Amino acid sequence: MNKETKLRIQNITAKAALKFESAAWVLKKREEQRLEASQMKFLRHGITKLDKEKNQCIKQKTGAQNTVKEITQYQKNWLHHVQRMDTNRLPKQALQYKPKGRRDIGRPRKRWRDQLHLEDQRTGNTPNPSGT
């Protein structure tokens, strides 16, 4: 199978399935690694370890984009979309919601808003994820 066909199949099936409803995912390192592994497993079809081709070379040959980066971009687009919504819309209210009370003991769970904030700090952007 040539590389254009392989990439089109991946974009139509695998990436579409992975990106479906990924706007609200909280990606941890382990999940990012698993997404990368699934992408490379698809791209490496027909290329064995005996060929000794690196993942980077295969991605370059096929012109494949990084799935994790695409998902984070998709999440940022969703955030900007929600920020443009009216304040009476449910997604906007959910984004601005701040629960009262205390959190459970232990390490706090990573929230979607926290993930976007950390990603923006890494890239140098500092928008306010609450939309206010």
| pLDDT tens per residue across span 59-84 | 888 777 788 888 888 888 888 898 89
The encoded tokens of residue 70 equal 């695409």
Each residue's pLDDT tens digit, 92-130? 888 888 888 888 888 877 777 777 777 777 777 755 545
- Beta carbons of 95 and 80 less than 8 angstroms apart: no
Closest CA to 31 of 75, 67, 59: 67
Q: Give the C-alpha separation, 4 to 81, whole Å.
A: 32
Each residue's pLDDT tens digit, 20-36? 777 778 888 898 898 88
- What stretch of H or E contains 6? helix 3-9
Tell me the pLDDT band of 86, cut-offs 50, 70 and 90.
Answer: very high
pLDDT of residue 20: 74
pTM for this entry: 0.68
Q: Mean pLDDT throughout 35-55?
A: 80
Q: Please state, in angstroms and as integers, the Cα–Cα distance from residue 127 to each residue in 83, 93, 106, following that order.
A: 11, 18, 28
